[in-house]
Amino acid sequence: SQQGEEDPQALSIQEGENATMNCSYKTSINNLQWYRQNSGRGLVHLILIRSNEREKHSGRLRVTLDTSKKSSSLLITASRAADTASYFCATDAGTASKLTFGTGTRLQVTL
């Protein structure tokens, strides 16, 4: 399987803390994207980082990409209860624009 791995599988933190999720993948990529999924819902696109970029910010989100290690991380700062969701990384290897999803991290933010 070409599916990427994410860790941790599950993460529980308190509101205000930072949450870090990691993603590893197996093939060369054009870009890597992070998505969020609330329980039983579709996916919401969070951020895209290209293979020639090393870091990207969007609001409380910070994404890093290390192509030599084939890994990426998503940092959510000052987490809120509303951030509770599953987070998936997805890689675009340029093959017909298909995305390959990681296994996901379930984040629980408690008050």
b/e per residue, 29-49, with b = 16+ CB within 10 A? bebbbbbbeeeeeebeebbeb
- Please, are residues 102 and 88 in contact by the beta-carbon 8 Å criterion? yes
Binding mask 26-55 for another protein (x = CB under 8 A): ----xx-x-x----xxxxxx--x-------
* Measured distance CA(5)–CA(102) in Å, rounded: 5
Q: Does 8 bind another protein (CB under 8 A)?
A: no
Q: Does 92 bind another protein (CB under 8 A)?
A: yes
Q: How far is the CB of 97 from another protein (least distance, A)?
A: 6
Cβ closer to another protein: 88 or 107? 88
Q: Does 58 bind another protein (CB under 8 A)?
A: no
- Please, are residues 91 and 4 in contact by the beta-carbon 8 Å criterion? yes
Considering only residues 21, 102, 107, 109, which one is a binding residue for another protein as defined by CB under 8 A?
Answer: 102
Which single residue is written with the structure tokens 């000052």? Answer: 78
Q: Does 18 bind another protein (CB under 8 A)?
A: no
Instruction: Write out the residues near another protein by the rule CB under 8 A.
Output: 3, 30-31, 33, 35, 40-45, 48, 88, 92, 96-104, 106
